[in-house]
Chains A and B, each alone.
Chain A
Amino acid sequence: MMLDSETTKTYTRPISKAWWLRDRGHFNRRYFMFLLRELTSVFVALYVVLFIYEIFLLTKGPDAHAAFRESLNSGPWIAFHIIALLFALYHSYTWLGLTTKMQAAGRGLVKIGTKTLPPILIALGSYGAWIVATIIIAYLFLTL
């Protein structure tokens, strides 16, 4: 127990709304990248909305769908897709990178016998699985 000492006046510094951009006068790359990662979800969400809309159009017949596909060929839409793809890649990459954090302290969550699997293997495994899954999905799409 800590005696409630006679507290004195303190000063609490306000947190700037742009803390992730300029951290007390200094650019903090890691805060920025973090916010970027949070931002990826916005693009992923937008893409999902678009995708659902596309499926919805399929129910309206092939013409409606084809017209929609055609409209996607414009510059801005292509740009949107590229950005969304990059964000999705970045998100997956960092998310899977976190899996290493289960491992490092010696006490890994994934063990073989008493030995902890090295974190790098976990990361490589995750990335590998990701790439394999992507290839399978791409194959299914392109061949079906």
Chain B
Amino acid sequence: MSDHKTIKITVLRYRPEEEDAPTEQTYEVEFRDDWVVLDALNHIKDHIDGTLSFRWSCRMGVCGSCGMMVNGEPKLTCAAMLRDYYPKEVRVEPLVNFPIVRDLVTDMTDFMDKLKAVKPWIIREEEKPVSEGEYRQTPDQLKDYKQFSQCINCMLCYAACPVYGLEHDFVGPAAIALGHRYNLDSRDEGIQQRQHVIASKEGIWECTYVGECSVVCPKHVDPAEAIQQTKVATTTNRFKSLVMPWGNKT
């Protein structure tokens, strides 16, 4: 891999102490064939311009830190190969729909609040003591929620969602998917406690089904599906409780 290819990388810069609006800066980076976009950013930081700020950690697509817009699409920069863009230029911006803190770093406190609001933990009417051993859960029951437990909180889906962009109260794809994950878990009994957040106007009913969240999700969580399932389930339950008020027990 001694090929010496050079790629142009344009990065959105925002230094809140110096400027009121973002600017852009272009770097030329000599890269190796197996480099990802994040490697180029690190190369810039280490050897060209130490003032460029961005988040990263695992470089293996699992910590969820390094989501950015790459040529207009939300991507994990540690999983986006440079060679897939070459010889075109690469343009890197912070994830859209979030306020920019600095350069490629966004403010994600809004998501952290929403995550907590959907109560993403096992809720039981009565907790089983540890001494009585594990809850039994069959592979089929595991499969019921497994996909929704794969979320790495990378925020790509929020960046892809025009509804979240226009309406910040929207609980949003990942948080709903995670709430749904617990609702589907055979060990959980907390669906009622989550419902007022998830099945609310700011929850599933805000979603107009663009479906882009599921397209960009690097872990195939398919949050759109979580939302759709909840819509159908909530509607059927309401309908059931209307026609059979005596038999309502979800």
Q: Which residues of A pack against B, CB within 8 Å?
A: 2, 8-13, 15, 19-20, 23-26, 28, 30-31, 34, 38, 98, 101-102, 104-107, 109, 114
Q: How far is the CA of A124 from the CA of B120 in the complex (A)?
A: 35
Q: Flag B160-203 by CB within 8 Å of A: 1 or 0 each.
A: 00100110000000000000000010000000000000000000
In the complex, besides A24-B72, A30-B215, 15 extra interface pairs with C-beta distance below 8 angstroms are A2-B112, A2-B113, A8-B101, A28-B212, A30-B210, A30-B211, A30-B212, A31-B212, A38-B208, A101-B222, A105-B225, A106-B144, A109-B229, A109-B232, A109-B233
A19 close to B100 (CB less than 8 A): no
- Going nearest first, the 4 A-B pairs with the smallest beta carbon separation are A107-B144, A10-B99, A26-B72, A106-B143
Pick 12 A–B contacts, CB within 8 A, sort by A: A8-B101, A13-B22, A24-B93, A31-B162, A34-B208, A38-B208, A101-B224, A102-B232, A104-B222, A105-B145, A107-B143, A107-B144
Secondary structure dominating the interface of A: loop
B104 CB → nearest A CB, Å: 12
A10 close to B16 (CB less than 8 A): yes
B233 close to A10 (CB less than 8 A): no
B21 close to A11 (CB less than 8 A): yes
Q: Flag B60-97 by CB within 8 Å of A: 1 or 0 each.
A: 00000000010111000000000000000000010010
Q: Which residues of B pack against A, CB within 8 Å?
A: 14, 16, 20-22, 69, 71-73, 93, 96, 99-101, 107, 109, 112-113, 140, 143-148, 162, 165-166, 184, 208-212, 215, 222, 224-226, 228-229, 232-233, 236
Contact A10 to B100, CB < 8 A, known contacts A19-B162, A25-B72, A30-B212: yes
A-B contact count (CB 8 A): 92
Q: How far is the CA of A107 from the CA of B222 in the complex (A)?
A: 13
B16 close to A101 (CB less than 8 A): no
Contacts of A10 in B (CB 8 A): 16, 99-101, 107
Identity of the chain B residue whose Cβ is nearest the Cβ of A10 in the assembled complex:
B99
